[in-house]
Amino acid sequence: MKLSHRDFADVRVISVTENRIDAACAIQFKDEMRHLTDTGPGRVVLDLGSVDFLDSSGLGAVVSALKAVRNGQRLELASLNPSVERVFHLTRMDSIFRIYDTAETAIEGKSDAR
Amino acid sequence: MKLSHRDFADVRVISVTENRIDAACAIQFKDEMRHLTDTGPGRVVLDLGSVDFLDSSGLGAVVSALKAVRNGQRLELASLNPSVERVFHLTRMDSIFRIYDTAETAIEGKSDAR
Amino acid sequence: MRAERGFAPPGAPATLSGVSVKELRLDVSATPYGVQIGLTTLRDGLRGIGIDDSELPSVELVLAEIFNNIVEHALAETEDGVIEVGLQCTPNGLWITVEDDGNPMPDGKPPLGLLPAVDVPVCDLPEGGFGWFLIRELAHDLTYTREGDKNLLVFRMAVGRGE
Amino acid sequence: MRAERGFAPPGAPATLSGVSVKELRLDVSATPYGVQIGLTTLRDGLRGIGIDDSELPSVELVLAEIFNNIVEHALAETEDGVIEVGLQCTPNGLWITVEDDGNPMPDGKPPLGLLPAVDVPVCDLPEGGFGWFLIRELAHDLTYTREGDKNLLVFRMAVGRGE
Ligand SMILES: Nc1ncnc2c1ncn2[C@@H]1O[C@H](COP(=O)(O)OP(=O)(O)O)[C@@H](O)[C@H]1O
Ligand SMILES: Nc1ncnc2c1ncn2[C@@H]1O[C@H](COP(=O)(O)OP(=O)(O)O)[C@@H](O)[C@H]1O
């Protein structure tokens, strides 16, 4: 599981560089996310554009990353492929996360837009 | 335990109308806070100006209120009396919460100021 | 992939004469990585038996949830467990059988798969418990039978009926 | 407040001759509301024996933490428990004794009172475990003894030495 990140003025964009978040890598994903939010600014965007498969373990790992943020820090999502979006939609998790179409709109988006 | 609240454009200010948050009222405080954050906007400020005594049960209840917020919602504090501020300082909880001198500065403060 | 063998999932309709039987069998090693490899292999296999690319994700998701549960629960104590999968394209969809020789389902039934509550504080959000909810949302005509010391799941995915 | 009686907390310095003994005794009902009433009553009493308003909060906090722990832990199973408190102003501070006939401290010692970690995710923040940390931060010369079936805490607060 490889995560890369780019820092902007007040937002860190984390990109998953593999194409699946599943039971085999969920724990590693959680650990790396934890590190990148710990050291990140008040707003973190997870870009899932490369991910074309996410199972319920992967979903749980994303939720776990959300639960690991600091007070006042927010974790948002960007670039969900249709199959990933479907899992968020079916489980209603799309109501929990602010989801942007692309990382670019996320970066432009006001941090208090929700 | 009585909490009152006033809603502004994008912030709800909750005021404790009693002068202590202690073991006798901690649970009730938690429940009422939960209700007021559930129904509140993305930013909630707890005005502790009337509180001149807070013990570790009261501190735990404030932390519990923080842990009960929705994704993207933030809970901030205002108007800590010296004795209350001391408890936050001794326990390092002042590093967890954004604390404003007064509810007014909290209302004026940008919501993404942290 | 193993050599093909006779395939007639209980509950699946008899294959209509004149319709070409398109089937696939696979042994999946019951570990998280085995599941990953199995699912990736199945992508190509499913395309080969007529499943459209747009239909692959739901099949892959249901199989992932079933496989993960077998790895984590049914075969948790087993070192070299194997999951046997059969897939058959029929006019009323893709029939799938999944077999393992692990522990039976709790109470002899697959879980109800109720959606965990998500309108709760962030700290109370569920990190698991979505598996059987997703299976039941996406699979049809699901039956579970315990046969001797084997678990057998049979169900239908409403895919592969294209053209 | 009960009638005063002879008062000499173990470990407290002998009262210096020529210094007026200022002491206070109170029975606190071992319930959350009893503690609330007891602490409020003590505010006035403490002022009366020479504690400055600015010094009251730390005394009240330490007593609250000790009382709450007795209510929650030592006397948890007792219906009509009573906590006996004695306070004596001396030149080196306010000596306080707290007695109850509840369960002894775990391992016969008061807790170490380490500060729980707070640089953790919001969801992992501690909601308790600060009581004995605060007591140990603010109280001096604290001793605990189990006498028969009674718990006795004696300690000094660095207040009341004003003028
Ligand atoms: N194949 C199986 N064999 C035995 N028990 C299972 C199996 N699948 C599911 N279970 C049980 O049903 C529960 C719910 O499963 P699921 O909905 O996938 O959620 P999760 O696996 O995330 O807990 C599991 O926790 C487990 O106790
Ligand atoms: N007076 C007491 N009698 C018995 N056990 C006690 C007493 N005070 C504290 N303890 C034990 O020490 C632990 C730590 O106490 P404290 O620091 O006040 O945290 P909390 O009460 O919030 O857990 C308690 O959970 C309890 O197990």
Chain A residue nearest residue B95, CA to CA: A71
Phi, psi of A72 (to 5 degrees): 85, -10
Which of B42, B66, B71 minimises the CB distance to A66? Answer: B71
For the stretch D61-108, pLDDT in tens is 999 999 999 999 999 999 899 999 999 999 999 999 999 999 999 999
CA gap A78, D140 in Å, rounded:
55
In this prediction, residue D13 carries a pLDDT of 44
Judge contact between D138 and D62, C-beta under 8 A.
yes
- Does D57 map to a domain? yes
CA atoms C70, C73, C75, C76: torsion sign: positive
State the maximum Cα–Cα separation within chain C, in Å, rounded to a whole number: 57
Interchain CB contact of D148 with A (< 8 Å): no
Measured CA to CA, the distance from residue A54 to residue A85 in angstroms comes to 9
Exposure of B8 in the CB half-sphere (CA atoms within 13 A) = 15
Residue C1 has pLDDT above 70, yes or no: no
Q: Single out the residue of C98, C105, C97, C31 nearest to residue C74, CA to CA.
A: C105
pLDDT reported for residue B70: 87
Q: What percent of chain C has pLDDT over 90?
A: 82
Give yes or no for residue C18 CB within 6 A of ligand 1: no
The amino acid at residue D92 is N
Low-confidence spans in chain B with pLDDT less than 70: 110-114
Domain ranges of chain B: 3-108
Q: What is the DSSP letter of A12?
A: E
Tell me, yes or no, whether D163 lies in a domain: no
Q: How many angstroms separate the alpha carbon of residue A5 from the centre of ligand 1?
A: 34
The atom of ligand 2 lying closest to the CA of D105 is 4
- pLDDT confidence of A6, banded at 50, 70, 90? very high
In angstroms, what separates the C-alpha of B4 from chain C's closest C-alpha?
22
Instruction: Search chain A and give the residue with CA nearest D119.
Output: A70
Is D103 touching ligand 2 by the criterion CB < 6 Å? yes
**Any idea which of A82-91, A101-110, C121-130, D142-151 has the lowest mean pLDDT?**
A101-110
The CATH number of whichever domain residue C66 belongs to comes to 3.30.565.10
DSSP chain B: --EEEEE-SS-EEEEE-SSEE-TTTHHHHHHHHHHHHHTS-SEEEEE-TT--EE-HHHHHHHHHHHHTPPTT-EEEEE---HHHHHHHHHTTGGGTS-EESSHHHHHHS-TT--
Q: Is D64 in the pocket of ligand 2 (CB under 6 A)?
A: no
Decide if the complex's ipTM is over 0.85.
Answer: no
Ligand 2 center–CA D65 separation, angstroms: 9
CATH code: domain B3-108 is: 3.30.750.24
Please give the interface size between B and D, counted as residue pairs whose CB atoms are below 8 Å apart: 76
C119, C120, C122, C127, best to mutate vs chain B, most B CBs in 10 Å: C122
Question: Cα separations (Å) of D90 from A2, C155, D13, D27, D82?
Answer: 65, 82, 8, 21, 26
Cα separation, A52 vs A85, whole angstroms: 10
| C-beta atoms of B95 and D127 within 8 A | no
Q: Note whether C34 and C82 are within 8 A (CB).
A: no
**Alpha helices, DSSP H, located in chain A:** 26-38, 56-67, 82-90, 103-108
Nearest to B11 by CA among B35, B38, B33, B44: B44
Among candidates C35, C60, C134 on the partner chain, residue whose Cβ is nearest the Cβ of A56: C134
Distance D122 CA to ligand 1 centre (A): 29
Q: Residues of A3-40 as b/e, b for ≥16 C-beta within 10 angstroms?
A: bebeeeeebbbbbbeeebbbbbbbeebbbbbeebbeeb
pTM of the prediction? Answer: 0.82
**Averaged confidence pLDDT in chain C:** 89
Are A56 and C130 within 8 A, CB to CB? yes
- φ/ψ of D28, rounded to 5, equals -110, 130
Residue located via tokens 């429940």: B31
Query: Is residue D156 scored above 50 in pLDDT?
Result: yes
Please tell me the distance from the alpha carbon of residue C82 to that of residue A82, in angstroms, as a whole number: 31
Say yes or no: CB of residue D83 within 6 Å of ligand 2: no
Parallel/antiparallel/unpaired status of strands C82-90 and C22-29: antiparallel
Nearest-by-CA chain D residue for C121: D123
* Band of residue D1 on the pLDDT scale cut at 50, 70, 90: very low
Shortest CB distance from A71 goes to which of B43, B96, B111?
A: B96
**Structure-token match 């310095």, residue found:** D13
Query: Is the residue at C63 inside a domain?
Result: yes
Chain D residues whose beta carbon lies within 8 Å of the beta carbon of residue C123: 122-123
Tens-digit pLDDT profile for residues D39-64: 999 999 999 998 999 999 999 999 99
In a domain, C129, yes or no: yes
Q: Rounded to an integer, what is the distance from CA B10 to the centroid of its chain? A: 16
Q: Is the CB of C58 under 6 A from ligand 1?
A: no
Contact C51, C89 (CB under 8 A): yes
A residues 68-107 closer than 8 Å to D (CB): 68-71
What is the rounded average pLDDT of the residues C45-55?
A: 93
What pLDDT, on a 0 to 100 scale, did the predictor assign at position A48? 98
pLDDT digits (tens, 9 = 90+) for B46-79: 999 999 999 999 999 999 999 999 888 899 999 9
Whether residue C163 lies inside any domain: the answer is no
Instruction: State which residues form the domain around C147.
Output: 3-157
How many whole angstroms separate alpha carbon A84 and alpha carbon C40?
16
pLDDT at residue C75, as a whole number? 97
pLDDT band at residue D2 under the 50/70/90 scheme: very low
Residue C69 Cβ < 6 Å to ligand 1: yes
Residues A13-52 have pLDDT tens digits of 999 999 999 999 999 999 999 999 999 999 999 999 999 9
